Amino acid sequence: MAQHSDSLQQHPGKASPVVSLGTEQQLSTEQAWQLVSRWMGSLELDALIQAFGESARQYFDCAGVTYQPPESGEVLEHGELAEHQAQYRLTVKGESLGCMTLHASRPFSSADLAVAEQCIGLLVTPLRNALKYEAALQEARTDPLTQLLNRSTMEQSLCRELGLARRHGEEFCVVSVDLDDFKTVNDAFGHAAGDEVLRDLAKLLRRCARESDLIYRTGGDEFLIALSHTSLVGARLLAERLRRAVDRHEFHYNGEELPVYVSIGVTALGDGDTVDSVLQRADEALYEAKRAGRNQVAFW
């Protein structure tokens, strides 16, 4: 497959020459068409990388592949991560498609690399489609203002998380967060100021939570954190750390300091709980924190 203006950067060992895809055609037209047809049916990145890895083993010496999407810390793996590697940074007309690394138990031969580069060249269009599909899914799952997960995503993912906790006999907690007197901020300083507060609060939530925790914006000024592998004691500690972080943080808009505090409710998964019952109990704990004078943490 001729690459034209598309390119990738190869890093076998310490060398990093820029090479063109398909400089030595090794696959027949029929084989290339079969590969592209198979890969075009995979819109999910994980499935596509798995299909690529399975195909790679058929045509050249490849123990496994890893792929890191652009602007993402997540690395997808398929097969074995062997000693010898050839790494490719993929770009198409200036657009980054991420980084693909091939693994083998012995050094790659020039023939292996020629076929590998042709296969990666054939992967470009299916990969771009999968990245666009992933971006569309992410947009549908994400609150546009805070970039946190949205409410429509919450119920489905909480069902999955509760199921996993029960299956493995693990502890699971939910933390409900609500801004105190947020209407006062909007009324006194305007909705642009309120939006700035919500963005800043989202950053504080990410900073206080663990990377594995799921954080949702569930309403205008309401947030929820799902904590897997966490006891009620651990969840209360995180909630108090978050409350103090908000209490100490200086929220500003147009040079004016804004009065921002949060009330937090905490609950743990119990026997017979459903998503609805856990959420209801977290809300009850949150209301108890409000009744206790706001800027409080309560558990139920």
**Rounded mean pLDDT, 30-46:** 91
pLDDT at 293: 95
In the numeric block, which tokens belong to residue 9? 């950067």
- Tell me how long the chain is: 300
Q: Residues 129-156: pLDDT tens digits?
A: 999 988 888 778 889 999 999 998 898 8
Return mean pLDDT, the chain: 88
Question: pLDDT of 57-100, one tens digit each?
Answer: 999 989 999 999 997 667 899 999 988 999 999 988 888 999 99
Domains present along the chain, CATH in parentheses: 7-138 (3.30.450.40), 149-299 (3.30.70.270)
Give the model confidence (pLDDT) of 156-215 as tens digits: 899 999 999 999 999 999 999 999 999 999 999 999 999 999 999 999 999 999 988 999
Residue of higher predicted confidence among 155 and 229: 229
Say yes or no to pLDDT of 17 above 80: no
CB atoms within 10 A of CB 3: 18
pLDDT digits (tens, 9 = 90+) for 267-277: 999 999 999 99
**Rg, Å, the chain Cα set:** 25
Residues acting as catalytic residues: 221
